[in-house]
Every structure is written in C-alpha cells, then in structure tokens.
C-alpha cells in the first residue's frame, strides 16, 4: 500500500472531529420483572455503537451489583458468568436477550414491578480508550419465569 492511505484516514478523522465522541444507540431496553424477595434479575436491550467499542460496565440505583453476563453451554447445562466487557462491532446491533448476553442486576433493593421504569447507566469504551456513559431507561416486563439460572 502507498503512504497515501493513512493520510486519507487521518483527514477523515479530522473532518469528523466535532462529533467524534463514540455514539452508542440503545433500543428496546427492558428488565425482567421479579417477585417479592427475589434478589436478581436480568436486563436486556439492543446496543449499537456507531464507531465500535466495548461495553465495560453497567450500574443502576436499583441493584447493589450490576454485571455484564454471558450464557454458554457447559456440558449440557446452560450457565452464565460475568465477562469483563462485551465487544460492540461498529454499526452492528448487539442483542442482549434471554439465553444470551444480558446485564445481571443483583442485590436488588426493590421489587421490579411491571410498568415501572429502571434507570441504567452503561459505560462504553471507544477504540480510542475514551469512556462514554449512556443513560438508559428500561421498562419492567413481567414474564412468568423468574431469572433463575444458576451461576
């Protein structure tokens, strides 16, 4: 390749500078409803990072602990565990849904009741290492089965 290529990329980056902050679009955010005394639930949504990045943290006032989880088969048992980050390829919606990636809300401080809105703050790290906080409002959906998978 010629040396012109990096120059063009640099020019493109310079042009986009005024709005160069990584942009993250979150859609369809919801939290699974809980029954009284239930201490954990999952939050689900679709996340698109326009420039690519990584979801590195989540927090919410309704839970003492919030983690990014993935589910995977271990033998013939579906298990979930915390992961340090979830890659967000540029422009591609990443779905967090039951049976897959999800945000795990633990040490719940209140019951999640259908129709309520739960504020979540996502932290997305861009390719440049800069972190962006995204405030998300997730509505609680009552779904029969509680989030009862074992850790």
Residues engaged in binding Cu ion (CB under 5 A): 69, 80, 104
Beta carbon nearer to Cu ion, 31 or 80: 80
Q: Which two tokens stand for residue 3?
A: 């040396």
Residue 14 or 77: which CB sits closer to Cu ion?
77
The SS3 assignment for 13 reads: helix
Task: Give the C-alpha distances (Å, rounded to integers) separating 113 from 9, 34, 41, 74.
Answer: 49, 7, 12, 32
We find the least distance from the C-beta atom of residue 147 to Cu ion, in angstroms, to be 7
Q: How far is the CB of 141 from Cu ion (least distance, A)?
A: 17
Rounded least distance, CB 81 to Cu ion, Å: 8
Q: Which is nearer to Cu ion, 22 or 45 (CB)?
A: 45
Contact present, 121 and 133 (Cβ < 8 Å): yes
Q: Which is nearer to Cu ion, 104 or 140 (CB)?
A: 104
Q: How far is the CB of 131 from Cu ion (least distance, A)?
A: 23
What's the rounded Cα separation, in Å, for the pair 102 and 42?
6
* Residue 81: other Cβ atoms inside 10 A: 12
């Amino acid at each position: 390749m010629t040396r012109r290529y990096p120059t063009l990329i640099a020019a493109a980056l310079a042009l986009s500078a005024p709005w160069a902050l990584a942009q993250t679009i979150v859609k369809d955010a919801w939290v699974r409803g809980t029954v009284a005394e239930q201490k954990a639930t999952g939050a689900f949504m679709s996340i698109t990072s326009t420039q690519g990045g990584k979801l590195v943290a989540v927090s919410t006032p309704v839970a003492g602990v919030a983690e990014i989880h993935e589910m995977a088969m271990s033998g013939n048992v579906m298990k979930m565990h915390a992961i340090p980050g979830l890659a967000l390829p540029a422009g591609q919606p990443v779905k967090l849904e039951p049976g897959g990636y999800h945000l795990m809300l633990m040490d719940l401080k209140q019951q999640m009741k259908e129709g309520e809105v739960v504020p979540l703050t996502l932290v997305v790290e861009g390719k440049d290492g800069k972190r962006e906080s995204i405030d998300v409002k997730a509505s609680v959906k009552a779904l029969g089965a509680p989030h009862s998978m074992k850790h």
